[in-house]
Structure 1
Amino acid sequence: MKTPTTFWAEVILPAIRAKVAKILSSEGFSQMKIAKELGVTQAMVSKYLSKYNPPEILNQIMEEIDTLAVLVAEMIKNDTKKEEIIKTIERSFLKFLSDEKFCRAYEMYSGISGKVCKDIITSSERKEVIDELTKALEILLKDEKFARLIPEIRSNFAYSISNPRDLNDVAAVPGRITVIKDKPYAMPPEFGASKHTAKLLIKISRYNPKIRSVINIRFGKDVEEAVKKAGLRVIYLPRNLKSIEEVENEIAKIFGMGEPDIVIDPGRHGVEPCVYVFGENPWDVIRKLRVVEKYL
């Protein structure tokens, strides 16, 4: 079966190796040295240098292939560790999977719909979102100061995939983050575990797709003063908002006009005030939270 990884291994990698071999050869590397660096035989290097021509199905992505080959060649010339070179190439595979031109080339190669490439990268991204949010949450739960920042309605910590479309595209904490024996406690993150923070990130993504993570903390004079001293960009919501949906829509519009670090909802009758800390990822959110904690 001709999978995208088969296409990468049988078609893309040889094209990359051939380009790298030509670059290194022009820099004075012997065929023996090139073979050792690429992990192939000297005979294969000779073929790359004299007989190899990339197949026509690669024409539309040759620029991307050449760019990666130049990078790999530079890493080899600079004696970069092989482990780092391998990681660079593997990360590039994931980037290629998200490229429509790669998907079309794969479709020509395999006769299978290129849509499968996007499905694979989406699955990979969802795993990355859960992994990163889980790691960040573990750090947060060890933060002694954080327990004092959890509001009556409790906190949630959310992180979305790129361009989220529904609640199942946003990972968050089931049941929210609570306090047990003066320490923060939370269940492991899951997709679809939050309604409010998920809707927030979905709506914000329409204005600013870079903002993919948020946590809510309590509001108070001490927090307000700490936020001011922290020098973070802060926006206050108007008090005349009547529903959670109006709050979400207003915050999303704010990101259409700028990129605040924090949005403060001063609350209204029957609704607890709330502070939202936003970031590009969970680590960005924690960084900003730590700056606020510094002044508490």
Structure 2
Amino acid sequence: MSLVLPSELVVDRFLPTVRAMLATRLAERDMTQREIAANLGVTQAAVSKYVSGDGGGDDRFRDDPETVATVDRIADGLASGEFDGYDALSELLSLVRTLEDRGPICDLHEETMPELEGLGCDLCVRGLDPDVRAERDVLGDVRTAARTLASSPQMADYVPNVGTNIGMALSNPRDETDVAAVPGRIYAVGRRIEIPANPEFGASKHVATAVLAAESVDSRTRGAINVATDESILEAARSAGIDPLEFEADYEDRRAHLQERFRDRGRVPRVAYHRGAFGIEPTTYVFGPAASDAAKLIVELLEAAATNE
């Protein structure tokens, strides 16, 4: 793991780019290189390199509208005498905070520390508060579940035509925006499964419906995954001591129907399924305390089904 602070990227990548941009803007406003050097706190030789285009930098900042607007504002203020060093620093600090909030600095941080990618990291903006940690843990668990499914050689045979998805809710979820899932769903491509993107909150309506129904009956059940209904999976579940729950496919309010069926059963089953209806593909939901638990059970059922063939 490479441990890189955002402030290092500000110093190494952002500041040289902004200095070069400012030097160019100030030169265009007829300021001498000595005056530019004094304002930027660099040598006159450095200003010469900046103005000639040899100063390096990162195009992500050069092309960023907020950065361009801020640099122009500072250049106008310094050239006219309306800004002093304090004013320029205030503008730059405000810009850095903006760019750290899902901006170019955040993008660079994720590139430098791949462990952050897909976490919806808000450390620079919000700090490591309990809510952020909980969201990070849920997103991480959904990614673990996706890797577990991808490692199963049987999984591709049980991805429905509409795709598979993995869902996991935060504690005490309000609606589908509190359920993390894979955007675009997971599809079978040949003998492997394709995971199109990192999980996000609010990315799935259908699997979120099942997760929310389960969590409302048993708060310990926060994960669910859908696969195609197949008798071999249901039989493998029964052999493992799991009694699959059948429910109707064509209820208009699927969440309310699932809640009612779970309450009738007295608990949330590990496996619930329907056999389809007009325009509705047969689907089986596998539940677990977390998405990774549901994925582990699916792999176990698929392996058992393959052994029994």
TM > 0.5: yes
The CA distance in 1 between the partners of 2:165 and 2:221, in whole Å, is 16
Alignment of 1:201-212 (within 5 A): 201-212=211-222
Does the 8 A contact of 2:145 with 2:166 survive in 1?
no
Kindly indicate whether residue 146 of structure 2 is the aligned counterpart of residue 137 of structure 1. Answer: yes
Query: Of 269, 283, 295, which aligns to 1:260?
Result: 269
Q: Does 1:154 align with 2:167?
A: no
The residue that corresponds to 1:251 in the other structure is: 258
Q: Which residue of 2 aligns with 1:78?
A: none
Shift of 1:212: 0.4
Q: 1:195 aligns with which of 205, 220, 224?
A: 205
CA displacement, residues 99-126 of structure 1 (integer Å, 9 cap, x when unaligned) = xxxxxxxxxxxxxxxxx99x93122100
Match of 2:190 in 1: 181
Query: What secondary structure is seen at the aligned counterpart in 2 of 1:216?
Result: strand
Contact in 2 for aligned 1:200/1:248 (Cα 8 Å): yes
Say if 2:121 is the partner of 1:125.
no
Quick check: 2:247–2:261 contact (8 Å CA) kept in 1? no
Q: State the match for 2:290 in structure 1.
A: 281
TM-score (normalizing by structure 2): 0.53
Q: Could you tell me how far 1:275 is from its partner in structure 2?
A: 0.5
**CA, structure 1 residues 271+126, in 2 after alignment: closer, same or farther (shift >3 Å)?**
same
Q: What is the CA–CA distance in structure 1 between the aligned matches of 2:242 and 2:221, rounded to whole Å?
A: 16
| 1:163 aligned residue | 172
CA deviations on 1:105-148 (whole Å, 9 max, x unpaired) are xxxxxxxxxxx99x931221001101121122112212111111
Give the conservation status (yes or no) of the 8 Å contact 1:230–1:291. no
Question: In the alignment, is the contact (CA less than 8 A) between 2:228 and 2:282 conserved in 1?
Answer: yes
> What is the alpha-carbon distance in structure 2 between the residues aligned to residue 242 and residue 262 of structure 1?
19
Q: How does 1:207-246 map to 2 (within 5 A)?
A: 207-238=217-248, 241-243=250-252, 245=253
In 1: Cα distance, 2:243 partner to 2:143 partner: 27
The equivalences for 1:4-23 within 5 A come to: none
Task: Give the aligned residue type for 2:301.
Answer: V
Q: CA RMSD in A?
A: 2.1
Unaligned 5+ residue runs, structure 1?
Answer: 1-115
In structure 2, relative to structure 1, the CA distance for the partners of 1:122 and 1:253 (3 Å cut) is: farther
Q: Which runs of 5+ in 2 are unaligned?
A: 1-125
Q: Measure, in 1, the Cα distance between the counterparts of 2:176 and 2:248.
A: 26
**Secondary structure of the residue that 2:173 maps to in structure 1?**
coil
| 1:28 aligned partner | none
What percent identity do the matched residue pairs reach? 27
Check the 8 A contact 1:232/1:261 in 2, yes or no. Answer: yes
